[in-house]
C-alpha cells in the first residue's frame, strides 16, 4: 500500500505502532488534493476499464447532487466508487472538485485497485471491494496548524466544547451528515468547527465516525490553532478563521503552516 501527500513532499518517515508520514502541508484549495492514497494492484486489465467507467459516472452525478455512487464490471473486473462534495459549498465548486478528484485518481493511482483522494471540498474513492455503507476509519490523515493558541488552556476548553457539539450534530437524523458550530473564545478570536460524513453511512454511524475523529484531536493538535482529522467515511475540523459556508462576514485570516500525519495501520 502507498500513501502520497499531494500538497507537499514527504520529509520524514517514522516507524512506530503505525506507519506515520509527516509532511509540511499548506492548506489546499478546492482543486488541490490534501492527500492521495493508492493501494492494491489491479487484478486484471479489464478492472482498469471499470475504473474509467466508474469515474466517468461519478463526476456528473456528484456535480449535480453532491453525492454519487457507481459500479462497473463483474468478477475480478468489478469496481465500486463513491464521490461526495461538502454540503455547504457552492455548486460550481462541487463540480470543479469532483472533476479534479477523478483526474487525480485516474492519473496518480492508475493500476491501483483501491484509491482515495481528499480535498477541502470533496472526497472520492474506488475499490475492487464494495465498501459502500460500511463506516471506514482504518486510514486517517491528521493536519495540524504549527501555531499554538495565545491562551492555550482557555482555547482548549472552548475547542473541545465546539467539537463535542459538532460530533453530536453530525449524528442527528436531520443534519444530513453535515455539522457546523462556532464559538467565541475571546475578543477577536473565534473557533469554527465542522464535521461531515459520506452519505452511504447512517446518521448514527456518522455521529460515531465524527466523534472518533474528534477524539484523535488531543493526541496531535492540543493547543493548536487548527486541526483536521480525515477518514474515508467522515472528517472533523476546527480553525480560528471562517472556512465553511455561509461565511460570517469576518475577514479570513492567513491559515498559516500545517503539518500532516498519515496514519496507516
Residue 245 pLDDT exceeds 50:
yes
Distance (Å, whole) CA 188 – CA 94: 31
> Which CA distances in Å does 99 have to 8, 30, 87, 206?
21, 11, 17, 25
Q: What is the pLDDT of residue 248?
A: 55
Residue 90 pLDDT exceeds 80:
yes
What is the domain partition of the chain in residue ranges?
A: 30-127, 140-264
Instruction: Say if residue 246 is preceded by a cis peptide, omega within 30 of 0.
Output: yes
What is the DSSP secondary-structure string of 227-263? Answer: EEEE-SSEEEEEESS--SSSP-SPPPPP---EEEEEE
Domain 30-127, classified CATH 3.30.430.20, yes or no: yes
Show the CA angle centred on residue 114, arms to residues 135 and 55, nearest 5°.
95
Mean pLDDT of 93-121: 97
Of the candidates 135, 159, 152, which has an alpha carbon nearest to the alpha carbon of residue 228?
159
Mean pLDDT of 232-257: 77
Task: Name 122's bridge partners.
Answer: 85
pLDDT tens for residues 156-211? Answer: 999 999 999 999 999 988 778 899 999 998 888 999 999 999 999 999 999 999 99
CATH of 140-264, picked from 3.30.230.30, 1.10.3210.10, 3.90.700.10, 3.30.430.20, is 3.30.430.20
Which of 66 and 28 is assigned the larger pLDDT?
66
How many other C-beta atoms can be found within 10 angstroms of the C-beta atom of residue 88?
15
Answer whether 30-127 and 140-264 agree in fold: yes
Distance (Å, whole) CA 243 – CA 7: 18
Which grid cell sits at 110?
492508475
Q: What is the pLDDT of residue 264?
A: 61
By DSSP bridging, strand 19-25 and strand 67-72 are unpaired
Distance (Å, whole) CA 59 – CA 57: 6
* Residue 14 pLDDT class (50, 70, 90 cuts): very low
Distance (Å, whole) CA 35 – CA 41: 19
Amino acid at each position: 500500500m502507498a500513501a502520497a501527500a499531494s500538497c507537499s513532499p514527504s520529509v520524514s518517515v517514522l516507524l512506530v505502532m503505525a506507519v506515520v508520514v509527516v509532511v509540511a502541508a499548506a492548506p489546499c484549495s478546492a482543486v488541490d488534493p490534501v492527500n492521495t492514497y493508492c493501494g492494491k494492484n489491479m487484478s486484471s486489465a479489464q478492472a482498469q476499464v471499470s475504473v474509467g467507467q466508474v469515474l466517468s459516472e461519478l463526476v456528473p452525478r456528484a456535480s449535480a447532487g453532491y453525492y454519487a455512487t457507481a459500479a462497473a464490471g463483474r468478477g475480478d473486473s468489478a469496481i465500486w466508487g463513491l464521490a461526495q462534495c461538502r454540503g455547504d459549498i457552492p455548486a460550481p465548486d462541487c463540480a470543479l472538485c469532483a472533476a479534479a478528484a477523478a483526474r487525480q485518481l485516474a492519473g496518480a493511482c492508475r493500476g491501483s485497485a483501491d484509491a482515495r483522494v481528499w480535498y477541502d471540498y470533496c472526497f472520492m474513492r474506488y475499490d475492487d471491494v464494495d465498501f459502500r455503507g460500511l463506516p471506514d476509519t482504518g486510514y486517517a490523515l491528521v493536519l495540524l496548524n504549527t501555531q499554538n493558541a495565545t491562551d492555550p488552556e482557555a482555547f482548549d476548553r472552548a475547542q473541545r466544547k465546539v467539537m463535542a457539539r459538532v460530533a453530536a450534530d453530525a449524528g442527528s437524523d436531520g443534519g444530513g451528515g453535515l455539522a457546523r458550530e462556532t464559538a467565541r473564545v475571546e475578543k477577536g478570536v473565534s473557533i469554527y468547527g465542522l464535521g461531515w460524513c459520506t452519505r452511504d453511512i447512517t446518521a448514527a454511524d456518522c455521529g460515531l465516525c465524527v466523534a472518533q475523529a474528534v477524539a484523535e484531536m488531543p493526541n496531535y493538535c492540543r493547543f493548536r490553532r487548527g486541526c483536521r482529522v480525515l477518514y474515508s467515511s467522515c472528517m472533523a475540523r476546527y480553525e480560528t478563521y471562517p472556512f465553511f459556508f455561509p461565511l460570517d462576514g469576518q475577514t479570513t485570516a492567513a491559515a498559516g503552516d500545517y503539518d500532516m500525519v498519515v496514519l496507516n495501520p
